[in-house]
Amino acid sequence: MTENKVPTTSMETLDMTQYNVHDLTGGQILELQSKMTPQAFSKILEPAIPVRMMLVGFTEDQRGKDIRDEDVVRPSNHRHTEQGKDETHTWKEKSQSRCPTYGSCNMCYTCGPVGMLCKKCRQPDQGGSYEQIYKILFYQQCVLDSITIAKMVGAGQHIAKADRTYQW
């Protein structure tokens, strides 16, 4: 196909293999997304965005186990680091995603694997039914250490797994 046009036929039955998703513009992708169900849209993106292991040094013997302390990506002073400085550039040596391993829940400040749903806020027996995501915390130009914040407020921590993958 020489020209990438957003298809106008039934989006549920359309064979997207004829389209190169990498060649679509942002606007074309948004238009395509608006015409499809979330499930159908994610199916066309799956081949375009590969699934990768988070840990650079992952080995098969770590599968299903908690992440080792030496593989955790966090500010070296356990408080904060300035975004874009030398320390943040070294994070790629441990993590393919080049970001801290842990983030914080906006509701309860529990610390957990960045991008995952907060386990504490999802437990109905503890009054939670929220879909909160562990997010990296920033203050101005600084990346804050979510592990330290969770300890300070007594919120607890959910340990990341070594075999965690990402797809972005």
User: Do 147 and 67 form a contact (C-beta atoms < 8 A)?
Assistant: no
Cα–Cα distance measured from residue 142 to residue 38, given in angstroms and rounded to the nearest whole number: 34
Q: Is pLDDT of 104 > 50?
A: yes
pLDDT for residue 22: 59
Q: Which residue range is the domain that position 130 belongs to?
A: 53-166
Average pLDDT of span 132-150 = 94
Whether residue 98 is found in the same domain as residue 132: yes
pLDDT in tens, 37-78: 777 776 666 655 667 788 888 888 888 999 999 999 999 999
| Residues 5-15 pLDDT 10s | 555 444 444 55
Q: What percent of the chain has pLDDT over 90?
A: 38
pLDDT level of residue 98 (50, 70, 90 thresholds):
confident
Pairing of strands 165-166, 52-53: antiparallel
Same domain, 72 and 112: yes
Number of domains in the chain: 2
Among the ranges given (67-81, 85-99, 147-161), the one the predictor scored with the smallest mean pLDDT: 85-99
- What is the mean predicted confidence (pLDDT) over 92-107? 90
Q: How far apart are CA 149 and CA 153, in angstroms?
A: 6
CA 54 to chain CA mean position, Å = 10
**How far, in whole angstroms, is CA 95 from its chain's centroid?**
12
Q: What is the rounded CA–CA span in Å between residue 61 and residue 51?
A: 19
39 and 115 in a single domain? The answer is no
27 with 65, same domain: the answer is: no
